[in-house]
C-alpha cells in the first residue's frame, strides 16, 4: 500500500533461528536487526530521517531502539508507528496465564536442549488463547461436518509460525512479561537504562478490539510512558486481521484521536468515549499522517549505490522466508 503511494519502504524479515543462534538476546536483535537496518537505510539516504514501524514484538523492540537512540542524541527516527505493540505488560491479557515462574523454567529447560523455542509450542499457546476460534470450531467444521476452510493469504501467514532463540525468548518473557522491567525503568541495554520518556519523535499507535495477544487497553498505556504527540487508533478485528485491514474490506471501523504532549491523560474508557468513529480502513489516515511527517518527494536511489557496500544478496522475498 505504501509503495503504491510513492513511499520508499524497507522491511526487516524475522530469521528463523537454529541452534547456532541460541545465545542471541534482545540486545543482539536490537543491534544486528533494528540498528543495522537503520544504518543501511541511512547509507542509501544520507541526511534523511526515517519513519519507522514495528509490529507486536517488533514494535516493542522499536520502542527500545527509539529510546536508546534518543538517549544517544541520534535523531534519525522521524516518527514511530506501533502496530499491536506493548511496552507495559502488567495487563497483557490472557497470555499472562501461561507466564509464571514454573512455566518459564519449563520453557527454558526445553529451549536449552535445542537452542530455540520450537514454532509449534508458540503456536499452541496462541491457539489456546482463542481455543474456540482456533481449535474447537475448526474440529466441528472439518472433522464432524466435513467442511474444509478455503485457504486465504491471511490464514497462510498466520499458520507460518517462527522459532525464537533461547536467550532472546527467555529475556523477553522473564524481563518484559514477568518482571515488566521496560515500563518500570529497570530494562538496560549495554548497562544503560532504557527510558521510554526520552522518545520525542511523534508516534502513531494502532490497537485492535479483539486482540488476545496485545489487548488494546494494554497497548493504550503507551500514552503514560511516552512524552510526545501520539495519534492512537482502535480498529475492529484481531491481532492480525485488524492490522492487515485493507481498503475495501467490508464491515471495518476504527476510532482515532490525537493526544498532544501537554494534554491531560485519559483513561482507556474516557478515550473510547471521546475518540471519533470512522468507517473503513485506518490505512488512509496513517498515510495522511506519514505525509505530514515527510519532507516531500525525492528520486529513489539505486540499491547498489551505497558507500558501505550494502549490496543485494538475492531477489525478493529473500532467504529467511524459505528456511524451515
Sign of CA dihedral 20, 22, 27, 29: positive
Judge if the upstream peptide bond of residue 317 is cis by omega within 30 degrees of 0: yes
CB 69 within 8 A of CB 39: no
Partners of 208 in beta bridges: 235
Closest CA to 5 of 324, 293, 320, 287: 287
Identified catalytic residue from 53, 56, 111, 226: 56
CA distances from 253 to 53, 205, 270, 279 (A): 22, 16, 19, 4
DSSP E strand stretches across 145-282 = 164-165, 188-189, 192-193, 203-208, 230-235, 253-259, 276-279
CA–CA dist 323, 98 (Å, integer): 28
Judge whether 258 counts as a catalytic residue: no
CA–CA dist 180, 171 (Å, integer): 11
Residue 179 three-state SS: coil
Which residues are identified as catalytic?
Answer: 56
Amino acid at each position: 500500500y505504501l509503495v503504491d503511494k510513492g513511499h520508499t519502504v524497507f522491511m526487516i524479515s524475522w530469521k528463523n533461528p537454529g541452534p547456532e543462534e541460541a545465545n542471541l538476546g534482545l540486545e543482539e536483535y536490537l543491534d544486528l536487526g533494528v540498528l543495522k537496518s537503520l544504518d543501511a537505510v541511512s547509507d542509501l539516504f544520507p541526511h534523511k530521517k526515517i519513519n519507522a514501524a514495528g509490529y507486536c514484538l517488533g514494535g516493542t523492540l522499536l520502542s527500545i531502539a527509539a529510546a536508546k537512540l534518543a538517549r544517544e542524541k541520534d535523531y534519525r527516527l522521524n516518527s514511530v508507528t506501533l502496530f499491536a505493540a506493548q511496552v507495559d505488560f502488567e495487563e497483557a491479557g490472557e497470555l499472562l496465564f501461561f507466564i509464571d515462574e514454573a512455566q518459564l523454567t519449563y520453557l527454558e529447560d526445553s529451549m536449552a536442549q535445542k537452542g530455540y523455542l520450537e514454532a509449534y509450542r508458540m503456536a499452541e499457546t496462541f491457539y489456546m488463547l482463542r481455543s474456540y476460534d482456533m481449535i474447537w470450531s475448526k474440529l466441528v467444521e472439518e472433522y464432524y461436518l466435513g467442511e474444509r476452510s478455503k485457504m486465504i493469504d491471511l490464514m497462510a501467514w498466520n499458520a507460518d509460525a517462527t522459532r525464537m532463540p533461547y536467550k532472546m525468548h527467555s529475556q523477553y518473557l522473564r524481563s518484559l512479561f514477568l518482571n515488566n522491567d521496560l515500563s518500570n525503568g529497570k530494562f538496560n541495554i549495554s548497562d544503560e537504562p532504557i527510558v521510554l520518556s526520552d522518545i520525542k519523535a511523534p508516534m502513531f499507535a494502532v490497537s485492535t478490539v479483539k486482540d488476545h495477544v496485545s489487548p488494546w487497553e494494554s497497548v493504550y498505556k503507551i500514552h503514560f510512558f511516552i512524552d510526545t504527540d501520539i495519534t492512537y487508533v482502535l480498529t475492529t478485528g484481531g491481532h492480525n486481521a485488524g492490522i492487515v485491514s485493507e481498503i475495501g474490506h467490508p464491515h471495518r471501523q476504527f476510532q482515532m484521536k490525537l493526544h498532544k504532549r501537554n494534554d491531560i491523560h485519559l483513561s482507556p474508557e474516557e478515550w473510547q468515549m471521546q475518540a471519533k468513529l470512522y468507517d473503513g480502513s485506518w490505512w488512509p489516515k496513517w498515510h495522511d499522517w506519514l505525509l505530514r511527517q515527510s519532507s516531500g518527494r525525492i528520486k529513489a536511489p539505486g540499491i547498489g549505490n551505497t558507500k558501505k557496500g550494502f549490496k543485494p544478496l538475492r531477489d525478493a522475498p529473500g532467504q529467511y522466508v524459505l528456511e524451515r
